[in-house]
Amino acid sequence: MPRPGPARSGDSYLAGAGAAAGVAARTAAGHPPGVSRTPFVLLVLGLLGGGLTCLLVINTILATASYQINNLQQGNTTLSQQEQALEQQIATEQAPATIARRAYELGLRPQEHLTFLNARTGRIYRQPATLPGVLLVPGFTP
């Protein structure tokens, strides 16, 4: 059975009250009526895009620095090996046998008879034992 006429006008009143309640709820929630959310969404998307771009740039810089560190470490290893080889060569050339061989190659020969000059008297001695105060120690030559 259909409702009487005054009830219909009340339905429109209730519908108007519901719409007003929805507008009031949106206003209370911080959204003024008639303002869209598009600027806020664009701001959030812009911040996310900027953050991802910064993250990409930082990641690229770190990767480049990592390659440079790796190259420098390889160069350091090579230089360390060269240093060890040079130290080995120095140790070999400082050995007494090597020095004696090189001296012989340069024409230096050991003297069979040593000659000493006394600077005070100007005398030349052939035997160190004839000098006064010289101890007879094997291997000692003044």
Pair 58, 42 in one domain:
yes
Q: Residue 124 — φ and ψ, nearest 5°?
A: -105, 130
Total domain count for the chain? 2
pLDDT in tens, the chain (142 residues): 555 555 444 444 445 555 555 555 555 556 566 678 899 999 999 999 999 999 999 999 999 999 999 999 999 999 999 999 999 999 999 999 999 999 999 999 877 777 888 899 988 877 644 456 666 666 655 5
Residue 116 is predicted with a pLDDT of 80
Expressed as residue numbers, the domain containing 103 is 38-110
Residue 141 is predicted with a pLDDT of 58
Pair 106, 141 in one domain:
no
Cα separation, 133 vs 131, in Å, equals: 6
User: Does the predicted TM-score (pTM) go above 0.85?
Assistant: no
The DSSP secondary-structure symbol of 3 reads P
Pair 67, 94 in one domain:
yes
